[in-house]
Amino acid sequence: MSPEAYVDHARLVEAIRQRDGERAAAEASTHPFACRLGPEAD
């Protein structure tokens, strides 16, 4: 994973641990979904 792709998941993990589904969903929705294919995908 490159430094540009780093995402801090601390708030999402904390919401999950506290069983706060609404807050977890809100946190998850703020994370970009970026999938980078490796060299074997070429």
**Could you report the per-residue pLDDT of 4-31, keeping only the tens digit for each?**
667 788 999 999 999 999 999 999 888 7
Q: Is the pLDDT of residue 37 over 70?
A: no
| Nearest CA among 8, 10, 1 for reference residue 35 | 1
pLDDT (0 to 100) of residue 1:
58
Which amino acid makes up residue 19?
R
Phi-psi region of 11 (alpha: psi -120 to 50; beta: other; left: phi over 0): alpha
Query: CA 27, CA 37: separation in Å to the nearest integer?
Result: 25
